[in-house]
C-alpha cells in the first residue's frame, strides 16, 4: 500500500517492495543494461505524478552521442501521454517562467546535436575547453527547465541517458548530474531563482516568493546504464569515488537472471534508507503498459 508521505513509482508491487513508495527529497538510482526496462520504469514513475500531485513529472535526457531515447514513443504507447519538449535556446525571462503555457514542458534533450563522447579522456585540452563553454550555456537552459516546471507544480524529475564509462569520475554526464542535483534539485527555490535571473533577481523577487516550492518535497530518479547485464553482477558491483550510487537514498537494480533454460528480467532493491524494503529478487515482464510483476 502506498503511504501518504511517499511518492508512488506507478507500480503497486514495487511500491510494496519499497515499504510504501519513494521518500520525498531523496535520490533514487535505477541501474541496469541497455534495454532492460529502465526508461519504462522512469516513465511510469513520472506519469504517476498526474494522479498523486496533479502534475506529471519531467524528463531530462543526457544522451550525448546524437541519439535520444524513445521517450515520446514509450510515453504515448504506455500512458497516452504526448510529450511536450523544451527547445534548445528557449528564452529564460521572468515573463516566460511565470507563464505556464510557455514554460511547462515535459522533456528536454540537453545535448541534442552534440554527438560527443562522455569522458574527459576522449578530448584534448582545446576540445575540453570548447566542451566546458558549451556545457556552461546548457546549464542556464537546465536551470530554466527545472525551475520553470517546479514553480507550476511538478514534483518529479527523471534523468535518463547516462551512458556507461570505465570510471564514473571521468564522465561529463556525472559532472552535469552532480551540478543539477546539488545546485537545482536539492537547493532552496529562491537560490535557484537567483542563479536563473542573476542581476534581475531583485526586480523579480516578488514573483519568486509567489511561486515558492519546497525542494524537500521533490523526487529525483536517475536512470543509469551499466556495462553489467546479469543481475548477480550488478549486485556484486563495487562502488567507486564519483559514482552516484554513493549519494543515492534508494538503489534499484535491474538485470537478467537464469530461470531453467531461459533468461528473464528481474529487479532487486539494493538500498532504501529510512524505510523497510523487500530484498527479494523479483522477476518482471515488459508489456505495452510498462513493467508488470
Q: Which residues is 291 bridged to in the sheet?
A: 286
Which pLDDT value is given to residue 65? 67
Tell me whether residue 57 is in a domain.
yes
Rounded (5°) CA angle 168-169-170: 90
pLDDT per residue rounded down to tens, the chain (293 residues): 566 789 999 999 999 999 999 999 999 999 999 999 999 999 999 999 999 999 999 999 988 765 556 899 999 999 999 999 998 777 788 999 999 998 999 999 987 655 666 677 777 778 777 777 777 778 889 999 999 999 999 999 999 988 887 777 677 788 889 889 999 999 999 999 999 999 999 999 999 999 999 999 999 999 999 999 999 999 998 876 566 778 899 999 999 999 889 999 999 999 999 999 999 999 999 999 999 99
Tell me whether residue 215 is in a domain.
yes
Q: Which domain holds residue 130?
A: 26-226
Which pLDDT value is given to residue 88? 77
Tell me whether residue 71 is in a domain.
yes
Which pLDDT value is given to residue 266? 98
Q: Which of 223, 216, 85, 230 is nearest to 149 (CA)?
A: 85
Q: Give pTM, 2 decimals.
A: 0.93
Tell me whether residue 214 is in a domain.
yes
User: Domains in the chain: how many in total?
Assistant: 1
Q: Do 278 and 17 contact (CB within 8 A), yes or no?
A: yes
Tell me whether residue 187 is in a domain.
yes
Q: Which residues contact 138 (CB under 8 A, 6 or more apart)?
A: 110, 111, 176
Tell me whether residue 11 is in a domain.
no
Measuring CA to CA, how many Å separate 156 from each of 9, 96, 287?
10, 21, 23
Tell me whether residue 204 is in a domain.
yes
Tell me whether residue 2 is in a domain.
no
Which pLDDT value is given to residue 16? 96
Amino acid at each position: 500500500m502506498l503511504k501518504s508521505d511517499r511518492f508512488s513509482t506507478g507500480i503497486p508491487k514495487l511500491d510494496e517492495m519499497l515499504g510504501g513508495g519513494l521518500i520525498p527529497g531523496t535520490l533514487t538510482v535505477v541501474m541496469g543494461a541497455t534495454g532492460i526496462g529502465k526508461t519504462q520504469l522512469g516513465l511510469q514513475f513520472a506519469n504517476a505524478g498526474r494522479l498523486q500531485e496533479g502534475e506529471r513529472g519531467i524528463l531530462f535526457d543526457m544522451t550525448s552521442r546524437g541519439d535520444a531515447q524513445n521517450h515520446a514513443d514509450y510515453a504515448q504507447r504506455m500512458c497516452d501521454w504526448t510529450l511536450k519538449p523544451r527547445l534548445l535556446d528557449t528564452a529564460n525571462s521572468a515573463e516566460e517562467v511565470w507563464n505556464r503555457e510557455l514554460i511547462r514542458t515535459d522533456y528536454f534533450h540537453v545535448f541534442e546535436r552534440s554527438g560527443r563522447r562522455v569522458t574527459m579522456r576522449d578530448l584534448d585540452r582545446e576540445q575540453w575547453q570548447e566542451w566546458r563553454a558549451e556545457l556552461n550555456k546548457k546549464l542556464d537552459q537546465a536551470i530554466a527547465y527545472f525551475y520553470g516546471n517546479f514553480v507550476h507544480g511538478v514534483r518529479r524529475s527523471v534523468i535518463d541517458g547516462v551512458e556507461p564509462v570505465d570510471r564514473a569520475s571521468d564522465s561529463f554526464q556525472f559532472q552535469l548530474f552532480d551540478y543539477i542535483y546539488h545546485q537545482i534539485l536539492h537547493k532552496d527555490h529562491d537560490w535557484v531563482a537567483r542563479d536563473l535571473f542573476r542581476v534581475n533577481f531583485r526586480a523579480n523577487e516578488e514573483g519568486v516568493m509567489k511561486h515558492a516550492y519546497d525542494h524537500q518535497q521533490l523526487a529525483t530518479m536517475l536512470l543509469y546504464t551499466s556495462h553489467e547485464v546479469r543481475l548477480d553482477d550488478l549486485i556484486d558491483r563495487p562502488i567507486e569515488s564519483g559514482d552516484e550510487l554513493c549519494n543515492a537514498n534508494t538503489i534499484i537494480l535491474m538485470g537478467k537472471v537464469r530461470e531453467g533454460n531461459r533468461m528473464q528480467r528481474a529487479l532487486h532493491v539494493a538500498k532504501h534508507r529510512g524505510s523497510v524494503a523487500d530484498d527479494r529478487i523479483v522477476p518482471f515482464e515488459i508489456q505495452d503498459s510498462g513493467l508488470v510483476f
